[in-house]
């Protein structure tokens, strides 16, 4: 399980005798943007389920909440389908999106058990595979590098979201479909 050429170096957990730190890594600055007046979700093709798997412990074992949607349209429409009218948003590359997903998938949220970076990484790969139309992670992980052709976005609603949050959207401009997830676990 070596790091692939298309993956970023993931932040390493730091364990001390009096606690632990789980750095998120660098994030792009977010800029306020207005969203479309309305958007409607459509039946999910599996990407939403993969996004929800990243944060499952946040509501199974902790006090969090998460929603994911798929829309016919772009990433802004997918975010709008979750409810917000205006958000802070940044277009990011695959590396930054992966880093956010791996950190999230490794986490147990405020009260759940931490799953660790290898689990977070495998869950992030499942998101990539699903967004590329695979039913499971392909045997050749190099195929997942094609996810760099998708458009990735980090966003937030602009208010205090707590200690654990993932707001991510991904758009497939070729097929005209997008997905968004909003997940928060209050500390």
With 0-12 CB in 10 A as exposed, 13-18 as middle and 19+ as buried, what is 159?
Answer: exposed
The answer to whether 72 and 42 have CB atoms below 8 angstroms apart is yes
pLDDT in tens, 114-171: 888 899 999 999 999 999 999 999 999 999 999 999 999 999 998 766 678 999 999 9
The pairing of beta strand 164-172 with beta strand 177-185:
antiparallel
Higher pLDDT, 63 or 175: 175
Higher pLDDT, 24 or 109: 109
Enumerate the β-bridge partners of residue 171: 151, 178
What residues does each domain of the chain span? Answer: 28-185
According to DSSP, residue 89 is labeled E
pLDDT in tens, 3-18: 898 988 887 777 778 7
The answer to whether 148 and 96 have CB atoms below 8 angstroms apart is no
pLDDT for position 110: 81
According to DSSP, residue 82 is labeled T
- The answer, yes or no, to whether residue 187 has pLDDT greater than 70, is no
3-class secondary structure, 58? helix
- The answer, yes or no, to whether residue 77 has pLDDT greater than 80, is yes
- The answer, yes or no, to whether residue 107 has pLDDT greater than 80, is yes
């Amino acid at each position: 399980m070596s790091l692939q050429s298309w993956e970023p170096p993931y932040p390493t957990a730091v364990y001390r005798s009096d606690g632990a730190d789980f750095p998120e890594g660098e994030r792009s600055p977010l800029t306020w943007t207005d969203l479309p007046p309305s958007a409607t979700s459509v039946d999910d093709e599996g990407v939403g389920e993969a996004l929800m798997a990243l944060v499952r412990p946040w509501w199974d074992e902790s006090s969090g909440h998460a929603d994911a949607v798929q829309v016919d349209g772009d990433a802004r429409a997918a975010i709008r389908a979750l409810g917000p009218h205006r958000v802070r948003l940044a277009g990011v590359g695959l590396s930054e999106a992966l880093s956010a997903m791996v950190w999230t998938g490794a986490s147990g949220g405020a009260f759940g058990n931490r799953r660790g970076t290898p689990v977070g990484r495998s869950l992030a790969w499942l998101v990539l595979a699903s967004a590329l139309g695979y039913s499971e992670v392909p045997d050749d992980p190099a195929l997942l590098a094609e996810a760099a052709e998708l458009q990735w976005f980090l966003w937030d609603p602009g208010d205090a979201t707590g200690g654990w949050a993932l707001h991510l959207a991904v758009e497939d401009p070729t097929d005209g479909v997008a997905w968004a997830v909003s997940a928060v676990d209050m500390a």
